[in-house]
């Protein structure tokens, strides 16, 4: 890997994190629920985009820049786990369980759909 690849990953990672912050806030601000809809939306969208890139046969360097950089900054496993843990601590065990199941099912469906879409491009 060369310097420009590292720089691209760093810059797009920062942009991805800003986009996550903005989208999560916009979605969460409109929802009146304990379910972490903002994080859910961000992670499913990111997974769909990753599937499209893989399905379209993106080059290894493009995947590194997009997957590690932009989508790595955009999606968030740690926030998903933290929010799930917080829900359980607050006694919202069903909501926590729904967050786990829905996130996993939607993530798998999104990557599958993304690969199909990418394959058509």
pLDDT of 81 higher than 80: yes
Quote the pTM value.
0.92
Q: What DSSP character marks residue 49?
A: H
57 torsion bin: left (phi>0), alpha (psi -120 to 50), beta (else): left
Q: Domain extents for the chain?
A: 3-120
> Quick one: average pLDDT of 84-108?
98
CA distances from 40 to 13, 14, 28, 64, 68 (A): 19, 20, 10, 23, 19
> Quick one: average pLDDT of 61-81?
94
Q: Give pLDDT tens digits for 30-69.
A: 999 999 999 999 999 999 999 999 999 999 999 999 999 9
> Quick one: average pLDDT of 113-119?
98
The confidence band for 12, taking pLDDT boundaries of 50, 70 and 90, is: very high
Give percent of the chain above pLDDT 90: 98
Q: What DSSP character marks residue 67?
A: I
The confidence band for 1, taking pLDDT boundaries of 50, 70 and 90, is: confident
CA distances from 96 to 37, 84, 88, 92 (A): 12, 5, 6, 6
> Quick one: average pLDDT of 6-24?
96
Q: Give the model's pLDDT for residue 38.
A: 97
């Amino acid at each position: 890997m060369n310097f420009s690849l590292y720089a691209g990953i760093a810059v797009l990672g920062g942009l991805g994190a800003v986009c996550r912050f903005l989208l999560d806030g916009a979605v969460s601000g409109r929802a009146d629920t304990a379910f972490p809809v903002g994080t859910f939306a961000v992670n499913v969208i990111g997974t769909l985009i990753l599937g499209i890139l893989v399905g379209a046969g993106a080059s290894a360097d493009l995947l590194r820049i997009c997957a590690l950089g932009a989508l790595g900054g955009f999606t968030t496993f740690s926030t998903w786990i933290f929010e799930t843990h917080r829900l359980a601590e607050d006694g919202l065990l069903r909501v926590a369980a729904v967050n786990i199941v829905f996130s996993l099912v939607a993530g798998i469906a999104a990557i599958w759909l993304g690969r199909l879409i990418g394959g058509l491009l």
